[in-house]
Amino acid sequence: MSKIAIIVASEKMDKLFPAVTLATTAAISGWDAEMFFTFWGLLALKKGYQPSGVTFDYKAYEGKLTEAIASGTIPNWKTVLEQGLATKRIKIHACSTTLGMFDLKQEDLESFVDSIAGAATFLSKAKGSDVSLFIS
Amino acid sequence: MNADITVDAKFKSCPGPLIALAEAVGKAQPGQVVKLLATDPAAPSDVKEWAAGVGHKLLATEKSGNVYEIYIGVVG
């Protein structure tokens, strides 16, 4: 069984979309996917979260992306993630350190979060991955 | 080529066409043919790799205008 491990360290639209695209595509291809949301990426796991924009450096292109999402050419990031989660092959881990930093509790996060994890736990899940990415 | 099920994912970018195809193939019966309509230029290659990985059969890829017609044979 192939496996992908992705660390998501940004809550911006232009970072979340490629992260969930790769995780979901892996999952529907029969791979396991381990995702670790840390630092600003953790904010994306808050209940009902939708990104307000793209990374500052790429603001000039934000309109292109929001138009594509509004027209349905590019799917919403959470829809893509939910389609992957339906396979049961994606596991979502929330970083315990940043959870504490933001004064958040597990109940503040989406119900699809599988665990509150530290670095050692995520490393044990990610160990042996065929593809590993840090997206920030 | 005749298809039992047609999935229209025209004007959808990656990963939309593949997600739609995988969902339809998942619901189809072994032996059925699923046709994907896509305009994403990555679709033929993505579908080929996906089918090889999950064990379904890529039967044909045709192009009509700017629309790809990709036929998958569902393997049980």
Residue A25 lies in a domain: yes
What is the distance in angstroms between the Cα of A80 and the nearest Cα belonging to chain B? 8
Interface test with A, best of B18, B19, B34 (most A CBs within 10 A): B19
Q: Residue A14 is part of which domain span?
A: 3-128
Residue A58 lies in a domain: yes
Residue A135 lies in a domain: no
The count of structural domains within chain A is 1
pLDDT of residue B76: 87
Q: Which residues of chain B have pLDDT under 50?
A: none
Supply B15's token pair. 């990963």
pLDDT of residue A41: 98
Q: What is the CATH number of domain B5-73?
A: 3.30.110.40
What is the sign, positive or negative, of the torsion defined by CA atoms of A63, A65, A71, A73? positive
Single pTM value for the model: 0.93
Looking up residue A100, the CATH number of its domain turns out to be 3.40.1260.10
CB B6 within 8 A of CB B57: no
CA-CA distance, B6 to B35, in Å (whole number)?
Answer: 5
Q: Tell me the per-residue pLDDT of A68-110, one tens digit each, with 9 for 90 and over.
A: 999 999 999 999 999 999 999 999 999 999 999 999 999 999 9
Residue A96 lies in a domain: yes
Residue A75 lies in a domain: yes
Residue A103 lies in a domain: yes
Report A:34-63 residues touching B (Cβ under 8 A).
Answer: none
> Does residue A12 register a pLDDT over 90?
yes
Spans of all domains in chain B: 5-73
Residue of chain A minimizing CA distance to B15: A21
Nearest to A79 by CA among A38, A105, A112, A121: A112
Reported confidence tier of residue A52, pLDDT bands at 50, 70, 90: confident
A68 in contact with B at a CB cutoff of 8 Å? yes
Residue A62 lies in a domain: yes
B42 in contact with A at a CB cutoff of 8 Å? no
Residue A72 CA from chain centroid, whole number: 20
pLDDT of residue A48: 94
